[in-house]
Structure 1
Amino acid sequence: MSTAQTKAMSFSNQVACTHCGQPVPGHLVRKEYDEQFCCHGCETAYRIVQEDQDLFDSIQQRRSENDASLFSGHDYGFLDHESFQEANCQPIGDGLVRTKFLLGGVVCASCVFAIEKLPRFLPGVVSARMNLTSSTATIDWQPDAIALSEVARTLDRLGYPPHPVVEDELEALQRQESRRQLIRLAVAGACAGNTMLIAVALYFGLFTGMDSEFFHLFRWTSAGLAMVCLVWPGRVFFHGAWQAVRAGVPHMDLPVALGLAAGATMGFVNTILQRGEIYFDSLTVLVFLLLVGRYLQYVQQRRAIQQISLLRSMLPRSVTRLLETNVNAATECVPLEAIRVSDWIHVRAGDVIPVDGIVMHGSSLIDQAILTGESNGIPTTTGDRVLSGATNLAGPIIVQAQSIGAQTRLGQIAELVEEGVRGKAPIVQFANRIGGYFVAIVLTLAAITIVCWAPFGIEAAINHAMALLIVACPCALGLATPLTVAIAQGRAGAKGILVKSGDVFEYLARPGVIWLDKTGTLTEGRMHLIEFFGDTTVAPAIEALERQIVHPIAEALVRDLAVPADERISATRVTDVETLPGIGVQGWIDGERISVGSSQMIAEANLFIGESLEHRLAVLIEAGDTAVVIARQSEVAAVCSLGDRVRIDAKQTIASLEEQGWTVGILSGDHQQAALRIGQAIGIAPQRILGGLSPEDKLRQIQKSNPSQTVVMVGDGVNDSAALAAASVGIAVKGGAEVSLKAASVYLNRPGTLPILEIITGSRKTVRAIRRSFAVSLGYNGIAVLLSMCGLINPIVAAILMPISSLSVLAISASSGAFRQRLTKEQPVNLQVQKVVS
C-alpha cells in the first residue's frame, strides 16, 4: 500500500461524513476541503439541502478536474442515435419520453435522494425515479430541451455511470407469469390459513358448545373463503381438467378438479341445509399445497431460450464507426444496431469485435477462445477475417463489417443453441408416465363405487365416491418429484452446484456418454510457464519487459518466473518498448536490446540461435505448447514453453466416472495434438479424444450419440453452448462464458472436476428417493381406495388422511442422502513438470 493511501485511510478514521455521520472511505477523503462525504449521494444531498446551486454545480467540476477515476468518462453519444431511441425509449405523451438506466455507484438513500433531484438541476428532465433495490432509474425527459447523452453524462459526472436497460421480451413474459403464480399462491395461502383458523374454532365448538348463530356464521365464512380459493387460484386445476376432457387425454388435474368440485358441492349443500360436515379447510389447504408444487416445477423449467439474449449481451452496446471508408476518416459513436454491412469499425485493444469482417488496417492478436476454445491468441493483420465475440488483445484495428446480427458467427451459434433447446425432447418423469393410468383407474373406481353403493342410497354412494376421490387425490404423486428435486437442488446449491431442471437428476442417474471440453474444463484455462531452457540470468530482464504490456503470455511470464524482489529491474530502466503484433515485444534495458516472442522472431530479426536451443525449440513446438524465444541483442539466450495446466483432480474424476460405467471423451476446439496430450495424461483413450472441432462439429458429435443413452456435455465457452443445449444434460463449469451457463442445465460454481462426480452421485440418490416416494404414495393410496370403496372411510376422514401421503413424501425427500457429503481431492498428480534448465 502506498504512503498516500495509508495517510488517506488514517485520516478517514478520524473523519465522519458531513451529511450522514458515517465513516468516510479512504479513497473519498479530500484533505483540502472542510466537508467530507462517504459517497456521492451524501455530497449531492447535502448541497441540495443547503440550497446552494453554485456549490452543487461545483461537484461536477471538482470531480471532472480532480476525481477522474471516480467516473467512467464514456462517450454516451450513441444514446442519441435514432436506432437506440426507437428500441429503448417510450413516448409517454405531452412531448415527453421515458427511458431507464441501470446506475452504478448507488449505495444508500442519499444516492436516491440526489438522483431524484436531477430535474432541479438539469433543465429538460421532468422526473427521475430511482429504485434502490434494482439500481434502476426511470427518467422522463424532453427531447427538444435536452439530449439523452447529456443526461447520461451528468449522471456519470455525479458518480453514477448509467447503462441502458435492455429487457428481453421473453424475460418480461416470464416475469409476468411468475408474478401471477405468486399472487395465486399468496391468495391460496391466505384462504387456507384463515379457513384452518375457522375450522379450529368449529372443532372446539363441538366440545365446548357454540351458539347457533356463530356456528353458522363461521360455516358460511369458511364457505366464502373456499369459494374465493376455488374460483381464483384453484381455477387452474379446473381449467386443466377441462382441457384434458376436451383433448380426451387423462390428466392429473382431472381427479383433483373432480375431488375439489365434489368436496365443494357437498360442503355448500351441508352449509345451506345446516347439517353434516364441511370440507373447506381441507380443500383450501389442498389447493395451496398443489400450487406450491406447481410453482416449484415452474421455477425449475421456465428458462428455455434465454441464452439467445445473453449471446447478444456479449457484444458491445456501442461501436466506433468511421464516417468514411478511409483509415484517417473521422469517427462517431453509434449503437450496435446502427451498423450496416460494409461499414468500417474501429476496434481498440481490449475491445470485443462486434461483427464478422475483414481487417482493413492494423495488426493485432485476436483471442477467439470464447468461440473456438483455442487458448492462444491468433496473429491477425490486414486482409485477415475476424469474428464477432472475439477479443482484440494487442493493437487497434479497423474492420470492415461483412456480417452483422444473426448472420455473424456468434448469431449462428445462437441459432444452434435455440434449435438444440427446442429440439431436445423433455424428460418424461415417472409420475407423468403413470399419471394417465392412475387418473383413469381412480375415475373408474369412483364410478364403480357409486354403482355399487347406489342401492343403499344415492347420498351414501356419493359420499363414498367423494371420499375415494379425496383420499386418492394424486397430490403426493404430483408433489413427489418437485419436493424431492427442490430439496436436492437446495443442498446442491449449498455445495456450489446449481441445477436448473429436475430432468437432470433422472438423466444423470443412468450412466451413458460424457464429453468434456479441454480448455477451462480439464485445464485451468490460463497460461502457465511449463519449461524454461537456457540462460536463467535473463529472467529479470524478461520480467521487466513483460510488465510493460498487457497480454496473457506476459502475465504468465511475470507470474511464473517469480523474480525475487531484490533482483527486479526498475521500470524506469526499460525504454523504447515496441509491440510487434503476431511476433512479440522488444525493448531496451540499460542499452541492451531484449526481445521476447514467437519462433517467427528468429527469422524476422535475423537472430542467431545455438544448436542446443534450436533443438529444444523444435521439441517444444512439436509438443503443442506455445513456444517463446528470448533474445539478448541479436542472439537467442533462452527458449521456453507456455501452456494450460491440467486440473489436479481431473485424473481422479475420469477414473471414478469410468468405474461407474460412464464412457468419457474429449471434444476440444484446440488442435488435436494438444487435446491428445491432455487426454492421455489423465487416462482417456485416444480414440475418444477429438480436437480441432468447431461448434457445429461438437454439436454433430452430440447428435450422433445413441438417443437411448444419457449424453452429457461439460464445457465453459460459447463454442460449447450449442452442444450443451443439445445434450441430455449440459454442465457448465466455473469461469465459463455466460451464454454457456444459460445453455447448460447444471452450473458448477466450484473449480475443478470433482463437482461432476458429486452431481452424478447426488442424482442417483435423488432418483432413488423419488421412486421410494412413488412407491409409498401409490401403496398408501391403493389401501385408502379399497377402504373408501368398502365404505370404511367417509369424506372427512379422507380429508384428514389425504395429507398423510404428502407428509410421508416430504419425510422421504428430507431424509434423502443426496448432496450431503462433498468429495475431496486426491494428492495432485504431477501431470506437467515445470523445469528451469541453465
Structure 2
Amino acid sequence: MTSSCFHCGDAIPSGLSITADIKHQSQSFCCYGCQAIATCIHDADLEKYYEKRQNQRATRPSDDNIGAFELLSDPSNYARYVHSENDAHTMQFAITGITCSACAWLIEKRLSSLEGVNSAFVNVSSQIATVTWKSPLQSPLSIAQTLLAIGYSAQPYLPGEQDLHQRKEKQKAIIRLGVAGVGMMQVMMSSIAMYAGDMDGMDDIYRQLLRWVSFIFATPVALYAGLPFYRGALRDLKNRHFTMDLPVSIGIGLAYVSSTAALITQTGHVYFDSVTMFIFFLLLGRFLETVARSNQSLINTDDALTAITVIRNSESMQIAQRDLALGDTVKVDPGQIFPADGTLKSTLTAVDESSLTGEYNPVIKYLGDNISASTTNIDQTALLEVTQLGQNTKAAAISRITDRALTEKPAIALLADKVAHYFVIAVLVIAAATYFFWAMQGEPEAYWIMVSVLVVTCPCALSLATPTALTTVTNRLKNDGFLITRGHVIEALAKVDHVVFDKTGTLTLGEFTVRNTTLMTDEYSKSDILRLIAGLEQCSNHPIAKAFGNISPFEFSDIKNVTSQGVYGVHKGATYCFGNADFIKSQDIKIPAALVEATNTGLTLYLCRASTLLAKVDLHDQIRPETKEVLERLTGMGIAVSLLTGDTPMSAQSILPTKWFSHYQTSCTPEEKWRWLMNQPSQNMLMVGDGLNDVPALAGATTSLAMGGSSDLAKLHSDAVLLSNHLSGVANAIMAAKRCKRIIKQNLAWAVCYNTTLLPLAVMGWVPPWVAAIGMALSSLIVVINATRLSRN
C-alpha cells in the first residue's frame, strides 16, 4: 500500500482505504472518483497511460461543464458547434487537465475505441480535441462524459472563439508589459543614483538602501512578468525540444538569483537593472510580433450577442444572433452582415461577397438565390430564410480549411524548427564554455558575458522566419479568393513550371446556351426535343445540363451518366441517349457525314432513341474575358501552359486557339488526363479544373486547383480552391508564392547573419545583457515586418 493516490498523487487521508486491482497489483486511492477513473482506464486496456505520463499528478475531473453539452440538444446550438455532413459529425472540445503528450495519447485511444467514433485528434499545446463520430451512435454529451470518466473536463469550442481567447491573452500580455515597464523605470532610477554615487561618493548605507529598492521593484518583474518564459522553458525540457524560452529563462534566472545573493551577502554586483531591462524588451518584442502577426477569423464571435430582427409566426421580434434557429426569417438592412447561410425571400438585393471570394464587385441576388454568412447586404432590405448555422455555414468551412492548411507545416518550416532546436543546444554549450573561459581568465564580468551570449543568440528570428511569411501569404490569398486547403501549396506553387488547364468551366465560363437545333425526324418538334434532353439532364450539375435547366422536362427513369461522354435514360418504355459523337457511335448509331460537315463551331451533341438519330444540338460556351491575358502572363513567367479537354478538336479550337498552349489535347477521358499527368517528367505541375471528369487528374497532380464553381468532389480532391472564379488568381497565387519564397530566404539569411555576427561579439564581452535583449527583440521584429510585406500587392 502507498501513502499517495495511484492516480492523482495526492496524499491519502489517514484511515481511508480505497483500493483496486490494477495490473494484478492492489493500488490505493484518495477518493472513489480516482478509483473509478483508474478502473476505467484499466478496463479499456490503457494502463500504458501511467507509464507514458510525464507529470505524475493527474487533474481531478469536474462535471461543471456537462450542462453545456446538454444545451446542444437544441438544434440551433448543435448546428453552431457541430459540423454535420450526412451522418458524420465533427466537433472540437476544449479540454482541461492535459499536462503532457501521455494525456493526449490516453484521450485519443479512449475516444477512438468508442463505437461510432471515426477519429479523435488532440492538440497538446492548445488543449483542443477534434472528434468525428457517426450519429446517432455517439453525441457530444456522451463523448464529454467519456472524457470525464478518464479524468478530463471538457467544454464546447468554436474556432472563432480563439479571437476571444487571444484578446484575453493580449490583455494579460499588456499587464505583464506594464509591470515590466514600471519596474524597469523604478530600478533604473535607483541604478542611476548608484552610478552617480560611485562617481561622487556615497555612503554604503544609502547604496544598500538603493539596492533593496531595486530588489523590491525587480522581483515582480522577474517572477510575474517573466513567467511566460519560465513556462516555455519547462515545456521545452518536458518535450525535449528547445526554443528561445530556455536560454532566456536561464539568463533571467541566473541574473536575478546572483543579484539577490549579492544583495544579501553585500558582496559583488547587483544587476537588477539589466534583469528588468531585458525582460521588458523581450516582452515588448514578443507583444509587437503578436500584433503584427494577428489576423481575424471569418467567424466574428462578437456578433454572437448582436441583436437581429427575425420574423417568427408572422411576428417581428428582436433576438440575440446566437439564438437564431433554422427556418427563421431574418431581416437584414443595407450595410449589415448576413448572420447565416440561407435563401433570399425578398425580390432582390446586391451582396458584397468579398469576405469569401475576394471579388469586390457586388453580386445581384434574386428571390430563391443562396446567400452565405459573413457576406454584406448592399442596397436593399433583404429577408433571409436560414438554412445553415454555425459550423455548417460556408464561412465556417473556409475557416476550418484555412486552419488545417496553416497547421500542416511544409518541409522548409519543419527544417527551420529542427535547426532552431539544435541551435539552442549549441547556444547553451557555447554560453557554458564562454563562462568557464572568462572565469579562468579572472574576468569579474564572466557571469554577465555568459548571460549576454544566452540572450543575444536566441533563435526566435530563425523560428519566426518561415511561419510568419506562410501565415501572411495564406491569409492574403484567402482574402483575394484563393483558398489554400493543404499546407504544402505555397511551397509547391513557388516551384511551378507547368500549368495544365481543363477547358469547360475553367478557361470558359461554362455557361452553355443552345445555338441551334437540327431535327432528324418529323416525329418530334424542337420543343419536344429540348424537353427530352432536359429530362435526361435533370439530375446532373454539369454546365451542359444548366443549358436546359429552364426547360420543362419530360419524366425519365433509370438515368445513368457516362462521364465526359453522355447520358441515357428511359421515357415511356423507350431508351434515349444524349451525348457527343463518340458516345452515339458507341451505341451503334451512325451519324451522316453531311451532318458532321454541317456542324457549327462550338459543342455539338446528339439525341437518339434506340437506334434512331433524332436531333443534333449545337451549344455555345463563352471564353472567360481574362483567359488570354492570364495565359500570356503565365507564358511570360516562363511557365508552360497545356490544355486537356474532353471536347472534340473542332469544339475546343473554335474557342481556344492551339497557339496559346505548349500542349493541346482534346477528346480526353478522365483516365487519359490522369495518365498524361503521370507520364510528364516535371514534378512541379499545377492542374486547374472544375468538373467530375477532372477529379482523377486533380487527385493525382502534384498541386491541384479547383474553380469556385466546381463540383464538391473536385474541391474535395484539390489542394486549393479559386473561390473568386477569376483566372487571374492563378497567376497572382504563383507570383505571391514565389515572393513568399524570397521573403523566407531573406528572413532566414537575416536570422543567420544576425546570430553569427552578434555571437562572437557577445563571447568577447562587448554586448551587455540589456543590449542583447534589445537586439534579439529587434531581430524578431524585423523578420515579422518583412513578412507582412506579403500582405500588400
TM-score, normalised with respect to structure 1: 0.49
Residue in structure 2 matching 1:468, options 453, 478, 485? 453
The CA deviation string for residues 262-319 of structure 1, in whole angstroms up to 9 with x for no partner, is 333323433454431263675587589779989999999xxxxxxxxxxxxxxxxxxx
Q: Deviations for 1:545-586, whole angstroms, at most 9, x for unmatched residues?
A: 8888972799989986999xxxxxxx9xx9x95548666899
1:654 aligns with 631
Amino acid at match of 2:762: S
Contact 1:653–1:757 (8 Å) recurs in 2: yes
Q: Is the 8 A contact 1:542 1:596 kept in 2?
A: no
2:219 corresponds to = 220
1:111 corresponds in structure 2 to none
Query: What is the one-letter code of the residue matched to 1:276?
Result: Y
TM-fit CA distance, 1:207:
6.0
Counterparts of residues 73-152 of structure 1 (less than 5 Å): 103=75, 130=77, 134-135=79-80
In the alignment, does 2:664 pair up with 1:664?
no
Q: Verify: 1:260 aligned to 2:249, yes or no.
A: yes
Aligned to 2:484: 499
Q: CA deviation at 1:490?
A: 2.6
Report what 2:89 is aligned to.
166
Helix, strand or coil at the partner of 1:627? strand
Distance between the aligned counterparts of 2:409 and 2:513, measured in 1? 42
Greater displacement, 767-776 / 214-223: 214-223
Structure 2: any 5+ residue segments left out of the alignment?
Answer: 1-68, 92-116, 129-158, 194-208, 264-269, 297-404, 560-566
2:186 counterpart of 1:205:
yes
Distance 2:545 2:252 in 1: 75
Q: Which residue of 1 aligns with 2:619?
A: 642
Kindly provide the CA deviation profile for residues 684-711 of structure 1, in whole angstroms up to 9, marking residues without a partner as x. 34566682133xx66665555447x423
Is 1:748 matched with 2:722? Answer: yes
Residue type of the alignment partner of 1:665? S
**Counterparts of 1:750 and 1:715 in 2: how far apart (Å)?**
14
Corresponding position: 1:477 with 2:462: yes
| Separation (CA, whole Å) in 2 of partners of 1:171 and 1:807 | 39
* Pick aligned residue for 2:271 from 268, 276, 290: 276
532 and 270 in structure 1: CA distance in 2 versus 1, 3 angstrom threshold: farther
Q: Which amino acid aligns with 2:492?
A: Y
C-alpha contact (below 8 Å) 1:431/1:478 kept by paired residues: yes
CA 1:560–1:613: 2 relative to 1, 3 Å: farther
Query: Conserved in 1, the CA contact under 8 Å of 2:512 and 2:546?
Result: no
> Is residue 724–residue 744 contact of structure 1 (8 Å, CA) maintained in 2?
yes
The one of 686, 692, 715 equivalent to 2:669 is: 692
CA distance in 2, matches of 1:737, 1:174: 31
Aligned to 1:807: 781
Q: Indicate how the Cα distance of structure 1 residues 555 and 445 shifts in structure 2: closer, same or farther if over 3 A, else same.
A: closer
Aligned residue for 2:756?
782
Amino acid in the other structure paired with 2:411 = I
Question: Amino acid of the residue matched to residue 205 of structure 1?
Answer: Q
Q: Which amino acid in the other structure matches residue 661 of structure 1? A: G
Q: Counterpart of 1:615?
A: 594
8 A Cα contact 1:665 1:684, kept in partner: yes
User: Is the Cα–Cα contact under 8 Å of residues 583 and 600 in structure 1 kept in the other structure?
Assistant: no
Q: What do residues 567-614 of structure 1 show as CA deviations (whole Å, max 9, x unaligned)? A: xxxx9xx9x955486668999xxxxxxx9974999xx9xxxx9x9998
Distance (Å, rounded) in 2 between the aligned partners of 1:741 and 1:553: 17
Q: In the TM superposition, what is the alpha-carbon distance from 1:523 to its structure 2 partner?
A: 3.8
Please say if 1:551 is aligned against 2:538.
yes
The answer on whether the counterparts of 2:533 and 2:548 sit within 8 Å (CA) in structure 1 is: no
8 Å CA contact 2:465–2:748 kept in 1: the answer is: yes
The CA deviation at 1:759 is 0.3
1:190-339 counterparts in 2 under 5 A?
A: 192-206=173-187, 215-225=214-224, 228-240=227-239, 243=240, 253=242, 256-271=245-260, 273-274=262-263, 275-277=270-272, 279=275, 282=278, 286=282
Q: Kindly indicate whether residue 745 of structure 2 is the aligned counterpart of residue 766 of structure 1.
A: no
Task: Within 5 Å, give how 1:440-451 maps onto structure 2.
Answer: 442=427, 445-446=430-431, 449-451=434-436
Distance (Å, rounded) in 1 between the aligned partners of 2:422 and 2:751: 15
Cα deviation, 1:39-95, whole Å, max 9, x if unaligned, reads xxxxxxxxxxxxxxxxxxxxxxxxxxxxxxxxxxxxxxxxxxxxxxxxxxxxxxxxx
Separation (CA, whole Å) in 2 of partners of 1:281 and 1:579: 80
Q: Judge conservation of contact 2:221–2:279 (CA < 8 Å) in 1.
A: no
**Which shifted more, 432-441 or 496-505?**
432-441
CA RMSD of the aligned region, Å?
5.7
Secondary structure of the corresponding residue to residue 744 of structure 1: coil
Deviation, 1:222, is 2.7
Match of 2:109 in 1: none
Q: CA deviation at 1:750?
A: 1.0
1:513 to 492, 498, 509: 498
Deviation (angstroms), 1:482: 1.9
List runs of 5+ in structure 1 lacking aligned partners.
Answer: 1-96, 105-129, 139-160, 245-252, 301-420, 564-570, 588-594, 821-838
What is the CA–CA distance in structure 1 between the aligned matches of 2:512 and 2:75, rounded to whole Å? 35
Alignment partners' CA distance in 2, 1:190 and 1:726: 47
Residue type matched to 1:263 in 2? I
Q: How many residues align?
A: 513
Aligned counterpart for 1:428 among listed residues 403, 409, 412: 412
Q: CA separation of 1:583/1:238 partners in 2, compared to 1, >3 Å: closer, same or farther?
A: closer
Quote how far apart the aligned CAs of 1:204 are: 2.8
Give the drift of 1:478.
1.5
Check the 8 A contact 1:521/1:733 in 2, yes or no: yes
Rate the CA distance shift 1:137–1:753 in 2: closer, same or farther, 3 A: closer
1:597/1:748 Cα in 2 relative to 1: closer, same or farther (>3 Å)? same
Counterpart of 1:627 in structure 2 is: 606
Identical residues among aligned pairs (%): 21
Q: Distance in 1 between matches of 2:760 and 2:276?
A: 24
Amino acid at match of 1:173: F
Residues 313-340 of structure 1 deviation map (CA, whole Å, 9 limit, x = unaligned): xxxxxxxxxxxxxxxxxxxxxxxxxxxx
Equivalent-residue separation in structure 2 for 1:501 and 1:612 (angstroms): 47
2:691–2:714 CA contact under 8 A, matched in 1: yes
Check 1:538–1:723 CA distance in 2 against 1; reply closer, same or farther (3 A cut): closer
Q: Relative to 1, partners in 2 of residues 1:191 and 1:505: Cα closer, same or farther, differing over 3 Å?
A: same
CA drift at 1:185? 7.2
Equivalent pair of 2:468/2:784 in contact (CA under 8 Å): yes
